[in-house]
Chain A
Amino acid sequence: MSIAFTVGVHECTPAASARLVIGVVGWTAPRCASEQHGQWATIVSNLARMTRTGDRFRTTVAAVIAAAIGLAGCSGSESPDDAGPIRVSAAASLTRAFEQIGDEFEKTHDAEVVFSFNGSNVLATQMIEGAPVDVFASADTESMQTVVDAGVVLTPETFATNRLAIMVQPGNPNDVETLDDLSGLDVALCAAEVPCGRYAKRVLAAADVELVPVSLDANVNGVATKVQLQEVDAGLVYSTNIADAGQLAEGVEIADEFNVVAEYPIATVGESPSDAAVEFVEFVMSETGQQILAESGFGPP
């Protein structure tokens, strides 16, 4: 006798998920031949029998698999989007600011925004390899140039600027005032191959400071994390990272004469970007977007 059951997998409610779990578990149970009981009564009696006879292993495995399927099915967005979400690849330093911009954009526009935050060069490589992206916001012009050269992006524009700053632990226990003070300390920098590392090198060279870092990170958030974990005494990060860290770290400004101004370009991807993508870029350049960026510590374009 086979147990036929309908499980509403296409509807994503707790009831449907529960039916899926119970249905799968009950279906995997050894069946008892009882013609007079109805479908759900049979499943329930099978379940009861299974826990008594010790088929708990099979029950647990089936329940876990069914729950995973149910949850996976339900993990997507509840409201179906006709056009699909706008996929934005943005530099790691833009994480907080862009998530806020995304929230504001979704409130005022009928579109969903999905972010991918990573080092700008990683994102650039992904896009050149064909990753489906609608908008690219980079932390430096070099990464943007590589995607322009590859023909993936046409016309970038600068939407914000950023500067480097020294991040230290709350209370500045090592009394760091200038770049020179970093000489004897354990300092974390970005690796020279990534944008924040290139900027750090330039700043240190401009200030004529010889520094042997203990740690070179693949992106600026890694540097910030190490300072906040108090595993290093200081790190060279963007001023926006100082703003992000809040209470967990303090910032020490770098004199203008040594500092670099990092230009952040943004662009839509592809020859015919969707209207939503163009609107998103316009929103970033608009007063609302610029205000959010300024609150996060970015400078004007």
Chain B
Amino acid sequence: MTSRSDRSERPPWPVAAVAAVAVLFVAVPVVGLLTRTPWSDVGDLVTEPDFLNALRVSALTSVAATVVVAAIGLPLAWWLASTRSRSVGPIRALVSLSMVMPPVVAGVAMFAAWGRNGLIGSHLGPRVAFTPVGVVMAQAFVAMPFFVLTVEAAMAQLDRAPADAARTLGASRWFAFVHVTLPSIRPALVAGAVLAWARALGEFGATITFGGNVPGSTRTLPLAAYLALQENPDRANTIAAVLIATSFAVLVGLRSYWTAAWRGAR
């Protein structure tokens, strides 16, 4: 099996040049934002209770949403990758729907399901909308496809031989899945979880519609940044800069840790 360092096939320089353009396309807005940030105010901002509240809500809800997505998305990805049923196509399309929905529409859809008069919500006791639980659900709804599709793709490409060998040696399907299949797709699991977490963290439309945007309980960082933009663009810049810096650190730190561990083990 070729490892990543075996790169005799480097892309030709025009490809690298276009790739550089792609990097610039993404990097320049971020760099622009960071240069506009009044860095001297960052110290004041990070001690403000409004900001800390929004940070806390964002951190807790995005992680909770990722856990929900992974918990119910992994079985779904396994099913999608291994079933021969003809409903796979429609179901995969259904799972992807929240990616194409405008987020505010996704919020309205959450009302239709979980709201006071929603299909399920009307039978529930406590209210789900306008609570942190509602924020988690809205974030999970939009983040689900990112995890499911990533993991399903990895599972579909997987070499079945090791899992089959484990089965012939007497392992149950569950044991083979947990101890053979899952470790071999760990990079995809991490990538999918990170994508889902990033999507959940950045979610705006569904959370402001279904979550309620109340500071301290349902106002996340993106909502705080958007509202700060109404009154004080500098403050919005600062919030965005902190959000970018934190996300960047997590995204870089987490991936290299896990993928390095995987490569080292093999």
Contact = CB atoms under 8 A, between A and B. Distances in A.
Interface of A: 119, 121-122, 125, 186, 191, 193-194, 212-218, 222, 225, 229-232
Contact of B230 (A122, A186, A222): A122
Interface string B222-239: 000011111101000000
A194 B230 contact: yes
B213 A191 contact: yes
Contacts of A230: 116-117
Nearest to A212: B214
Given A186-B130, A222-B209, A225-B108, 17 more contacts: A121-B229, A121-B230, A125-B229, A125-B230, A191-B227, A213-B212, A213-B214, A214-B130, A216-B214, A216-B215, A216-B219, A218-B208, A218-B226, A222-B208, A230-B116, A231-B111, A232-B130
Contact of A214 (B117, B214, B228): B214
Contacts of A218: 208, 213, 226-227, 230
B198 interface: no
Interface pairs A-B: 7 shortest CB-CB = A215-B212, A121-B230, A214-B130, A193-B230, A193-B227, A216-B213, A193-B231
Interface of B: 108, 111, 115-117, 127, 129-130, 208-209, 212-215, 219, 226-231, 233
B228 A193 contact: yes
A229 B227 contact: no
Contact of A121 (B115, B214, B219, B231): B231
10 contacts: A186-B130, A191-B227, A193-B230, A214-B130, A216-B212, A216-B219, A217-B208, A218-B226, A231-B116, A232-B130
B218 to A, nearest CB: 8
| Binding site secondary structure of chain A | loop
A85 B233 CA distance: 30
A220 to B, nearest CB: 13
A248 to B, nearest CB: 14
Nearest to B110: A231
Contacts of B233: 125
Contacts of A194: 227, 230
Contacts of B213: 191, 215-218
**Which of A121, A193, A232 has the most C-beta atoms of chain B within 10 angstroms of its own C-beta?**
A193
Nearest to A229: B111
Contacts of B209: 222
Nearest to B129: A231
Contacts of B226: 218
Contacts of B227: 191, 193-194, 218
B250 to A, nearest CB: 27
Contacts of A229: 108, 111, 115, 117
A125 B228 CA distance: 12
A215 to B, nearest CB: 4
A214 B212 contact: yes
Nearest to B204: A218
A193 B115 CA distance: 26
Nearest to B212: A215
Contacts of B111: 229, 231
Contacts of B116: 230-231
Contacts of A222: 208-209
**Which of B214, B228, B230 has the most C-beta atoms of chain A within 10 angstroms of its own C-beta?**
B230
A191 B208 CA distance: 11
Contacts of B127: 186
Nearest to B209: A222
Contacts of A214: 130, 212, 214
Contacts of B129: 231
Nearest to A143: B230
A232 B219 CA distance: 18
Nearest to A230: B117
Contacts of B130: 186, 214-215, 231-232
